[in-house]
């Protein structure tokens, strides 16, 4: 097994290696690809590593996969958009709000490394799967493991083309060390991603009830395929891919209360985000793909894997009359604060829209410290309190706390990566792009009717309406930067709605290429993105 080294050439080395990082350090000398990828069990071990890599995409400081090494990697894809501003002023996050990040900034480099590390591992698995000596337990094992590896390869390239544009396309193990990579045009990379996802769709299991929670299915591939077809400008194929998910018969929009919290205050929308309610075995038929993060569970997450609660929940405990409480979301840091144009907008949510209920966006804060003399008193969210993240609207889908450890960092409930409601919105986007306004309105109205929001007409279907609906439905779940880039509206919407990011220019639609890549790639020209 090649050794991944650090320093200037580390990112380029990730293109050349396929280190199976999920293996314990002390086992790496005995478990190399040549003696691991010999039978179905070995490929099961390998693909488990790919799931672990994927699950680490928002990892902060440590654990088995220390992906980014800083707080706020996920939030770096949310600030500098029309959605949120940085409340806590984290040093790692502020450059993405004020657009002062450099070619050497931590996330500019870490997302590149994360993606190419996953690609290298996928390529390694795919290469060894072609050995004729492999002993497969079942006839379809080869195609199944290849489908999972090719899905994750496409998933990794998704980050790369959205964030960096033209990037080297690598689909094999490089036998010789190289410093002469060139940038493959984005359109060619996307075409390769589509090939991978089509293969995954054809060879992954169809019935989600027959797979382990969190494992890939045909619908997962088709959902992502719909998005990538949209990115490619192939709208009819995007429509067909979304419809395959919708018409599969396995998934349905949640319209009734279910799961562990039905005897507690809430509603059917909030139920989808309650701990232990993400899996089909819990009654959730809307979730298409979840990443297992369950607390204190083998195969679950750790304290550093997902800090979304710290990001989205305010610092209410700094207000006189409040103490930390899991019922108030736990210990948040307000790393991001919802922009008032939508979260406070009287017309943004229709009256009765369940997504705007107090169970889903907390706007009423009552003192909970029984020793303060203020117990039960309501504290108003003033502009000053919101500006510094002390008391802000709370997106309750990220509430999380443990009574035995109220300062716990992580969000160890399963994270829903894909839901059927987004599939409908991808379908609406594809139909709108084709000028099929009546059908697009119908797709949007499936989501709005479920939310108890009034239906819209075909005349109301616009890019802005779809983008607004995605906030109402998917706030905090989607990576907002990626969505706005796909629509070609990052600059327009950010300048219109985000008072914190008023210096955005066209070139900010892409991040810069990490400087380590340019400096290390001495054998061929590797141009920087314009504007950096």
Q: Is residue 389 part of a domain?
A: yes
Q: Is residue 39 part of a domain?
A: yes
Is the domain of 161 the same as that of 180? Answer: yes
Q: What is the mean pLDDT of residues 434-459?
A: 98
Is the domain of 321 the same as that of 287? Answer: no
Residue with the bigger pLDDT between 85 and 60: it is: 85
Is the domain of 221 the same as that of 86? Answer: no
Q: What's the confidence (pLDDT) of residue 142?
A: 98
Question: Given a cut of 60, is residue 27 above it in pLDDT?
Answer: no
Q: Is residue 473 part of a domain?
A: no
Is the domain of 178 the same as that of 264? Answer: no
Is the domain of 522 the same as that of 385? Answer: no
Number of domains in the chain: 3
Is the domain of 170 the same as that of 228? Answer: no
What is the spatial distance between Cα 89 and Cα 85, in angstroms, rounded to a whole number? 9
Q: Is residue 467 part of a domain?
A: no
Is the domain of 357 the same as that of 267? Answer: no
Strand partners, 440: none
Is the domain of 42 the same as that of 167? Answer: yes
Pairing outcome for strands 337-338 and 287-291: unpaired
Final residue of a structural domain among 431, 461, 491: 461
H or E element: which one contains 287?
Answer: strand 287-291
Q: Is residue 250 part of a domain?
A: yes
Q: What is the mean pLDDT of residues 27-31?
A: 52
Q: Is residue 480 part of a domain?
A: no
| 480 in Cβ contact with 78 (< 8 Å) | yes
Is the domain of 324 the same as that of 247? Answer: no
| 151 in Cβ contact with 204 (< 8 Å) | yes
Q: Which long-range contacts (CB under 8 A, 24 or more apart) does 342-350 make?
A: 342/82, 342/83, 342/468, 342/471, 342/497, 343/393, 344/393, 348/468, 348/472, 349/453, 349/472, 350/453, 350/454
Average pLDDT taken over every residue of the chain: 92
CB atoms under 10 Å from CB of 39, counted, come to: 14
Q: Is residue 488 part of a domain?
A: no
Domain harbouring 129, CATH code: 1.25.40.390
Residues whose CB is less than 8 angstroms from the CB of residue 442 and which lie 6 or more positions away in sequence, other chains included: none
Q: Is residue 56 part of a domain?
A: yes
CA distances from 247 to 200, 240, 242 (A): 18, 10, 9
Is the domain of 315 the same as that of 293? Answer: no
Report the range of poorest mean pLDDT among 19-33, 96-110, 399-413: 19-33
CB atoms under 10 Å from CB of 36, counted, come to: 21
What is the spatial distance between Cα 283 and Cα 287, in angstroms, rounded to a whole number? 10
Question: pLDDT tens for residues 301-316?
Answer: 777 888 899 999 999 9
Where in the sequence is the domain holding 238, given as residue range(s)?
211-304+411-461
Is the domain of 104 the same as that of 75? Answer: yes
Domain harbouring 295, CATH code: 1.25.40.10
Question: Given a cut of 50, is residue 5 above it in pLDDT?
Answer: no
The closest alpha carbon to 399, from 222, 265, 221, 205, belongs to 265
Is the domain of 234 the same as that of 117? Answer: no
Model-level pTM?
A: 0.93
Question: pLDDT tens for residues 176-224?
Answer: 889 999 999 999 999 999 999 999 999 999 999 999 999 999 999 999 9
Question: pLDDT tens for residues 258-306?
Answer: 999 999 999 999 999 999 999 999 999 999 999 998 877 777 777 788 8
Residue 476: left if φ>0, alpha if ψ -120 to 50, beta else—which one?
left
Q: What's the confidence (pLDDT) of residue 64?
A: 65
């Amino acid at each position: 097994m090649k050794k991944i080294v650090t320093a200037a050439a580390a990112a380029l080395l990730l293109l050349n290696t396929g280190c199976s990082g999920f293996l314990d350090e002390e086992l790496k000398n005995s478990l190399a690809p040549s003696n691991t990828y010999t039978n179905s069990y070995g490929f099961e071990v390998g693909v488990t590593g790919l799931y672990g890599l994927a699950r680490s995409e928002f990892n902060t400081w440590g654990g088995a996969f220390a992906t980014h090494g800083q707080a706020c990697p996920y939030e770096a894809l949310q600030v500098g958009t029309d959605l949120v501003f940085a409340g806590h002023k984290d040093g790692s996050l502020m450059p993405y709000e004020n657009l002062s990040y450099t070619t050497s900034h931590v996330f500019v480099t870490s997302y590149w490394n994360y993606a190419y590390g996953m690609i290298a591992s996928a390529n390694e698995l795919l290469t060894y799967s072609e050995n004729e000596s492999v002993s497969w337990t079942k006839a379809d094992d080869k195609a199944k493991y290849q489908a999972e590896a090719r899905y994750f390869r496409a998933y990794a390239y998704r980050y790369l083309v959205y964030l960096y544009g033209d990037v080297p396309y690598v689909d094999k193990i490089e036998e010789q060390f190289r410093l002469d990579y060139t940038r493959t045009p984005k359109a060619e990379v996307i075409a390769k991603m589509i090939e991978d996802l089509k293969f995954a769709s054809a060879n992954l299991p169809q019935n989600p009830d027959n797979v382990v929670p969190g494992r890939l299915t045909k619908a997962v591939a088709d959902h992502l395929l719909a998005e990538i077809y949209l990115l490619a400008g192939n709208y009819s194929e995007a429509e067909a891919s979304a419809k395959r998910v919708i018409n599969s018969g396995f998934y349905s929009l949640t319209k009734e209360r279910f799961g562990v919290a039905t005897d507690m205050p809430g509603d059917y929308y909030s139920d989808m985000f309650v701990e232990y309610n993400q899996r089909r075995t819990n009654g959730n038929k809307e979730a298409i793909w979840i990443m297992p993060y369950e607390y204190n569970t083998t195969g679950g997450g750790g304290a550093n894997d997902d800090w979304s609660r710290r990001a989205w929940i305010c610092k209410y405990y700094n207000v006189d009359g409040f103490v930390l409480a899991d019922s108030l979301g736990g210990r948040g840091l307000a790393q991001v604060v919802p922009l008032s144009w939508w979260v406070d907008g009287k017309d943004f949510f229709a009256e009765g829209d369940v997504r705007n209920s107090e169970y889903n966006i907390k706007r009423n804060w009552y003192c909970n410290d029984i020793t303060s003399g203020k117990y039960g008193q309501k504290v108003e969210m003033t502009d000053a309190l919101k500006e510094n993240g002390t008391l802000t609207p709370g997106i309750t889908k990220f509430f999380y706390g443990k009574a035995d450890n109220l300062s716990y960092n992580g969000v160890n409930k399963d994270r829903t990566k894909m839901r059927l409601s987004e599939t409908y919105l991808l379908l609406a986007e594809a139909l709108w792009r084709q000028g099929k306004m009546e059908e697009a309105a119908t797709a949007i109205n499936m989501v709005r009717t479920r939310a108890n929001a009034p239906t819209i007409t075909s005349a109301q279907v616009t890019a802005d309406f779809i983008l607004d609906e995605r906030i109402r439905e998917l706030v905090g779940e989607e990576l907002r930067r990626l969505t706005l880039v796909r629509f070609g509206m990052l600059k327009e919407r950010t300048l219109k709605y985000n008072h914190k990011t008023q210096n955005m220019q066209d070139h900010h639609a892409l991040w810069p290429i990490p400087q380590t890549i340019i400096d290390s790639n001495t054998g061929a020209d590797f141009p920087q993105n314009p504007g950096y």
